[in-house]
Structure 1
């Protein structure tokens, strides 16, 4: 029947009410008196976008004539959060090389003094968890070897990068959402900022401010996971032609202040608390990272759960799986006597090399997560964000210097960089898991052991929203919140500093009347409790979904399972500080 696969309901059969790319593409610029002109516009003030800004401004500082030719605003960064890093979240253990290259005058001790780094990895451990009580220590697989890497906060790193960019002459437009990509005669010529001060129904309020066209010689898309402009650009310029479709994962993270320092980095690879049956389609893993705040002396722990959004059981919830995971004796012993001080959630691209779109189009290019540059085998993406941003800054500087319009060399430079090499080695490593943990595991191990040589060729993906959903029993294992070790979604959203106003326009697009399987998928998947079912909803058939969009923390997972996250009003959403 329509909308079903093997008797299950398929999210893709219930697409969101979005007119893309036309809704997110503006044809032509406003008149000169009605626009802002900048040299380079960067959409997104996260790690990748700010790396591009920092590198471009480093080069422009040595070329005053070129800098002056870009006008009063040589580089503008548009960030929808209240501050750069406000919507940024990752584990994160990073390979230090690209960070050291971008900021060669900083030592690793300086990183810690600046407040974005929390210690070098000297010890590590990997455990398999057969059950809720047991654990088996295994030798760290090659992707999980992190000796010499650094534990960081990407939110704090972005705030540092923002400060550096402003000192170099960048204009940082925080609380500013970029809502449209401006295209003239087949070339990107700028972006339009979103309106502010509209009510729930889109009506202008007393403090209404219309958006503005921002004209730029080049645009860098650094929105993270397939943002509104990135998705529109991919369709407009057919950047995904001959590529595999994007697939997603969802990570939920907490930071704890603990009484005893953790002396090693820990990963677990299940199967508990996930179900290994191919019927459930659950793949995921966890991290526990030690964090020493050198400025305060506090011992902190970063703990998180990542689940592949390929799963089929509608009751799969990354947030609740994390709460369940924390009750394992291994974890509870680490957190005992501690206090949760931060929480957050973020989707990440899981498709890797074959799912990366073409990274350039006339007048614009993509960096970091926007271009799918994440190695989800080793849980590494931050150094790719920094590396790709640095390369983007150099490519655009060279193009400005030459005075021509060619930036396609960026593709080749990414391919030959650490990012291209590392992602190519794991190009076929995650796809086998779409067959399930037991069937796919041996093929994945072979791909890791041979660094991508086997299996040969190109293994395909299918989109997450093409997976048929059923209502299973994963939720039966979730603990009741005790507000000591385990917490509900709404109290978690509260500590993010989320300040979306109650009368803001709805930025989430979903069909409101959908089969119960789809409604349950959204309800359980969302870490912020955005989606609810009415108490009198029928057990079978279609139900009306309640959308509490002001809870949203901008994780983006809904885009993978039948909906679409669009940009909120500038300033809305969480205010992450240490995630």
Structure 2
């Protein structure tokens, strides 16, 4: 490994993926639960699938009856659907309008998940911590007519619609294993509950249960445990580029005066421009008028590509630094922070999408990598993919089949693949740095990927050599009023992880200082800690404060692994 530098992938986590996440036989009928269609994940993709499938089944009572007492169930590890969901988000409304055609956009706002149609927008480059240069929005980022939403609140709305239509929602329930028998997915096994930190049963212990299904939908979002197992088991990523990731940290503020436009910044300050830092990212500021309370809210967030090389890069602290810019202070000062959260984002685009179906199961939404980096969009693709999956499953159930290749064809023929293909090479040139890569990206966007053409390679985030740089020198000191530390931020998420819960995070505990610093700075929740007496060079021990974890998934991009937590653990996001 001479000349490689210190690379996270050289320190892999202690995980035995096939043995841990794949169960090779289904329990007998007396020891399992039989469900028609099981959807793993109560995010926008999974809930769209449930709602659309129940719409189709409502007109087909014979098929509905054949699926048993529970035709459709959603397995959700959070305390409620939306509890682990976070996005900006400015959503293209089409797929949601298609799913619920009788609900007007005014009704969306009354329901509390939508905050107004975009009328004005502005994009800036920040050359430093004082100035802001406005630029024309690139074509993919035109947002006029789109809707500002809270994805967490949208999921709760979609959960209510699904339950009214007949879905059974199993909240606080993790899916710990994918059941694969005779080359096909037969269902999932729910995770145990009530074990202590050493894995021993407590007095309230509840063992997991096999959930047998005629069709399984993996809608786990980013870094799904069973999604990863399925991709490996069925070789779904064969021929695809490796998936790469970004990390977003978000705050919601109650502000004294309304914001009249959506704002984005691209690259530039507070990121480091020199290519050696490999820092790419940007920010958003969105107006949120709460029709229920009358409050003026603002969604503000910062996103960092996880391909960075400086171990001291911290998305949470970059957001705090971004807030010191005069343009941002003018919007937030006099206000109050009311929410915080963090989530990783699949950023590989079209070339990194895995095969979306396997015998007995499909992937939808972020699990299938359906995010358009150039347009900063993913929510409407998730909804559309869930609907297409439902239609494919319905057609296959009618035929008595478990093959869903028609779902892949439908995605390829839809706006999902069309949009992602046009932006297929807009992420990769940034590996050359902002100065060299930026103009190439502009050409890619202007020509919809035709020039420079071809297929540009992606490289795993954990293959990036790390060094201890100077990004941390710019982070402001927390004051608890405008600038916040990580632990106080985790506190307001409603994180409910038990202090004696089993550790769901896998990392090597004795690693080079560069790797330890990477994990410590990267984690927005302060999970990884380097002891004060650790050596400045060489190997150091890492303390894992796993009960802080908000399950953002970033650690899996940089050499660790987030595994299945106990159901009900983690944050309880409200308006993120």
- Note the C-alpha offset of 1:245: 0.2
Contact kept, 8 Å, 2:358 with 2:403, in 1: the verdict is: no
Cα separation, 2, equivalents of 1:31 and 1:274: 56
SS of equivalent to 2:65: helix
Query: How do 1:423-438 and structure 2 match up within 5 A?
Result: 423-438=420-435
Shift of 1:485: 1.1
Q: 1:14 aligns with which of 3, 11, 14?
A: 11
Residues 130 and 270 of structure 1 are in contact (CA less than 8 Å); yes or no, is this contact kept in structure 2? no
For residues 403 and 530 of structure 2, the distance between their equivalents in structure 1, rounded to whole angstroms, comes to 51
Q: CA deviation at 1:144?
A: 1.8
1:506 lines up with 2:503 in the alignment: yes
1:367 aligns with 2:364: yes
2:422 is the alignment partner of 1:453: no
Question: Among 177, 196, 202, which residue is 1:199 paired with?
Answer: 196
CA distance, structure 2, for counterparts of residue 139 and residue 230 of structure 1: 38
The aligned residue for residue 566 of structure 1 is 563
Confirm whether residue 87 of structure 1 aligns to residue 84 of structure 2. yes
**Alpha-carbon distance in structure 2 between the residues aligned to 1:307 and 1:437:** 13
Residue of structure 2 in register with 1:343 after alignment: 340
Structure 2 residues not aligned, in runs of 5+ = none
Output the CA distance in 1 between the equivalents of 2:428 and 2:294: 43
* 2:228 matches 1:234: no
CA distance in 2, matches of 1:482, 1:220: 45
C-alpha deviations, 1:155-179, integer Å up to 9, x for none? Answer: 0000011111111111100000000
SS in 1 for 2:267: strand
Equivalent pair of 2:215/2:402 in contact (CA under 8 Å) = no
**C-alpha distance in 1 between matches for 2:482 and 2:35:** 49
> CA-atom RMSD, angstroms?
0.7
Match of 1:54 among 47, 51, 54: 51
Q: Provide the secondary structure at the position in 2 that maps to 1:343.
A: strand
Could you tell which deviates more after superposition, 471-480 or 270-279?
270-279
What is residue 168 of structure 1 aligned with on the other side?
165
What's the counterpart of residue 467 of structure 1? Answer: 464
Matches within 5 A, 1:69-108: 69-108=66-105
Aligned length: 576
The answer on 1:536 being equivalent to 2:536 is no
> Which residue pairs with 1:285 in the alignment?
282
Alignment of 1:113-262 (within 5 A): 113-262=110-259
Q: Which residue of 1 aligns with 2:63?
A: 66
Q: CA deviation at 1:435?
A: 1.2
Give me the whole-angstrom Cα distance separating, in 1, the residues matched to 2:86 and 2:151: 6
Runs of 4+ in 1 over 2 A off after TM superposition: none
User: Is the 8 Å Cα contact of residues 317 and 475 (structure 2) preserved in structure 1?
Assistant: yes
- Displacement, 1:228? 0.8
Query: CA offsets, 1:374-425, max 9 Å, x none?
Result: 0111110000000000101111011111222221111110011011100000
Q: Work out the CA distance in 2 between the residues paired with 1:12 and 1:356.
A: 21
> Equivalent residue for 2:549?
552
Number of the residue aligned with 1:296: 293
**Of 387, 391, 398, which residue of structure 1 is paired with 2:388?**
391
Whether the aligned pair in 2 keeps the contact of 1:374 and 1:380 (CA below 8 Å) is: yes
What CA distance in whole angstroms lies between the structure 1 residues aligned with 2:260 and 2:119? 8
- d(CA) in 2 for partners of 1:455, 1:561: 30
CA distance in 1, matches of 2:403, 2:133: 54
Range that drifts further, 329-338 or 20-29: 20-29
